């Protein structure tokens, strides 16, 4: 087992899904995304947003949004995450009785928050009373399926290999989620996600 990644594995172009051309490139991209984005940033952000929304901690949601916006690691994925988050907020707009959703949506529209997908997803889980572990599995499943399906379509990758790759990443997901939850839980419930 190697302690450090090779230059090839950490080169910036491999952190661009558009640069994926084959199964090896897709695996390198997914491994890096899992290690650098999903586990340390996105899953903790979903969990934090869930707890903040449960407790009505609106200021903390805005602070989490600002932390994600300041995180340079997320910049290659900002446009996609913000587009998905804002679309989810648009779909939640009719929920006038959900004050937290309406306040957050107004802040996004006014430019006071950006509307990152992990935050909106965490709020969604809270207002619909979805168990957090189940919801985080849904988040990861949507993410991995989106990446793999996109690469499969654009690169004409084999169905069977893509299905097996997706299964591999989904099989690891519950363990990562449990690790995030265990690490985040303290005397006060959930700590702010370590996103910077």
Query: How do the pLDDT tens digits run along the chain, 196 residues long?
Result: 333 344 444 444 446 788 889 999 999 999 999 999 999 999 999 999 999 999 999 999 999 999 999 999 999 999 999 999 999 998 887 776 788 888 999 999 999 999 999 999 999 999 999 999 999 999 999 999 999 999 999 999 999 999 999 999 999 999 999 999 988 765 444 444 444 4
Q: What is the pLDDT of residue 186?
A: 56
Q: What is the pLDDT of residue 96?
A: 65
Whole-angstrom distance, CA of residue 116 vs CA of residue 80: 9
Q: What is the pLDDT of residue 10?
A: 42
Beta bridge partners of 40: none
**Count of beta carbons in the 10 Å neighbourhood of residue 99:** 11
Q: Which pTM value belongs to this model?
A: 0.85
Whole-angstrom distance, CA of residue 90 vs CA of residue 32: 31
Domains of the chain and any CATH numbers: 21-185 (1.10.4190.10)
């Amino acid at each position: 087992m190697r302690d450090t990644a090779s230059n090839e594995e950490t080169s910036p172009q491999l952190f661009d899904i558009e640069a994926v051309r084959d199964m090896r490139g897709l695996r390198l991209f997914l491994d890096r995304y899992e290690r650098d984005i999903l586990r340390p940033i996105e899953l903790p952000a979903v969990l934090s947003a869930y707890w903040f929304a449960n407790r009505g901690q609106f200021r903390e949601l805005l602070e989490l949004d600002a932390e994600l916006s300041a995180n340079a690691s997320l910049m290659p994925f900002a446009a996609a995450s913000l587009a998905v988050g804002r679309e989810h907020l648009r779909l939640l707009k009719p929920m006038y009785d959900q004050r937290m959703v309406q306040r957050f949506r107004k802040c996004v529209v006014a430019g006071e928050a950006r509307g990152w997908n992990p935050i909106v997803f965490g709020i969604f889980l809270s207002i619909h009373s979805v168990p957090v572990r189940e919801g985080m599995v849904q988040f990861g499943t949507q993410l991995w399926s989106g990446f793999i399906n996109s690469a499969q379509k654009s690169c004409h990758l084999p169905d069977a290999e893509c299905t097996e790759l997706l299964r591999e990443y989904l099989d690891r997901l519950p363990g990562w989620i449990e690790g995030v939850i265990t690490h985040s839980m303290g005397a006060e419930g959930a700590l702010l996600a370590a996103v910077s």
